[in-house]
Amino acid sequence: MTAPWNASVLTLFPEVFPGPLGQSLAGRALERGIWSLAAENIRGFATDRHRTVDDTPFGGGAGMVMRPDVLDAALAAVADARPCIYLTPRGVPLTQARVRELADGPGVVLLCGRYEGVDQRVIEARGLVEINIGDYVLSGGELPAMVLLDACVRLLPGVMGAAESADEESFAAGLLEYPHYTRPAEWQGRRVPEVLLSGHHAAIATWRRQQSERITRERRPELWAAHQSALRPAVISGAPVATVPGAP
Ligand code: SAM
């Protein structure tokens, strides 16, 4: 590991990495050594001759559970100062704030589950941070790992150029992003909002802000409520102008 930000992924399917992370922004950053990626096969840490990584659940029920001894050996082989994360539907949600925090650190160790998931004791013994990428169930942790890595890598210094700044993206200030338009100015009878053609920067900024607020209010009431409550103390103290919730 020599890059400024290092990712180790423990998986039963190391061959699927880097996959889409080898393309575009993340792929170029990987080539330039801004981050490193090592995908380790969990099966390599099994000790029996069949390379068994799972077993039936105590207490009965459907499916198989990944063994704690095999996972512990795999984690021991890569663990260092980086946070060790288990991708799981029952984890805390992956938010842009968490992504930012992880991107600001030394990197991550990611454990990808399969089957019914992993034995609880290894989660506790290794102090794994449980993270969920959305409220639905996938077949394995590989896609969630890629999602987390892509979100982090694009925030690493030098990955995005000025033209791709994260400052105005969704979630950066606790709001969803405003709509975008490009040429032609009229397409299938639909005109680009006049204000965007006006060249009036302050009016454009106001329009975009209003659109962000409207979209957030309509689509994500919980984000809107959080945004409103972050705004409230500053308004009461008489300093509403500088308040942009979630802004650095
Ligand atoms: N029995 C588990 C449950 O009900 O929560 C689901 C296991 S799922 C079939 C297999 C693996 O996929 C999990 O161990 C986890 O690593 C990964 N996975 C599935 N959905 C996920 C999600 N929404 N977020 C993060 N990881 C997920």
144: phi then psi, degrees, rounded to nearest 5? -55, -40
Q: Summarize the confidence of residues 172-183 as an average pLDDT.
A: 94
Q: What spacing in Å lies between the alpha carbon of 132 and ligand 1's midpoint?
A: 8
Q: Summarize the confidence of residues 111-118 as an average pLDDT.
A: 98
What CA–CA distance (Å, rounded) separates 189 from 196?
17
134 lines ligand 1 (CB under 6 A): yes
Q: At what angle do helices 142-153 and 24-31 cross, to 10 degrees?
A: 80
CA dist 152 → 149, 159, 160 (Å) = 5, 10, 12
3-state helix, strand, coil in the chain (%, to 5): 40, 15, 45
Q: What spacing in Å lies between the alpha carbon of 15 and ligand 1's midpoint?
A: 20
pLDDT band at 167, cuts 50/70/90?
Answer: confident
Closest CA to ligand 1's atom 8: 139
Mean pLDDT of the chain: 93
How many CB atoms are closer than 10 A to CB 91? 16
Closest CA to ligand 1's atom 23: 89
With residue 209 as reference, give the H or E element that holds it: helix 201-219
Q: Which residue ranges does the chain devote to CATH 3.40.1280.10? A: 5-153
**Using one digit for the tens of pLDDT, what is the confidence trace for 55-88?**
999 999 999 999 999 999 999 999 999 999 999 9
Q: Which residue ranges does the chain devote to CATH 1.10.1270.20? A: 168-236
What is the architecture, at CATH level 2, of domain 5-153?
A: 3-Layer(aba) Sandwich (3.40)
**Among 3.10.450.40, 3.40.47.10, 1.10.10.10, 1.10.1270.20, what is the CATH number of 168-236?**
1.10.1270.20
What CA–CA distance (Å, rounded) separates 53 from 11?
11
Which of 10, 13, 88, 131 is the pocket-test mutation for ligand 1 (most atoms within 8 Å of CB)?
Answer: 88
User: Is the pLDDT confidence value at 212 over 60?
Assistant: yes
Closest CA to ligand 1's atom 1: 116
Q: Hey, what are 242's tokens?
A: 């500088």
* 8 A C-beta contact, residue 158 and residue 34: yes
* 8 A C-beta contact, residue 12 and residue 40: no
pLDDT band at 34, cuts 50/70/90?
Answer: very high
Number of H helices, E strands in the chain: 7, 9
62 lines ligand 1 (CB under 6 A): no
Which of 104, 107, 64, 111 is CA-nearest to residue 86? 111
Closest CA to ligand 1's atom 26: 88
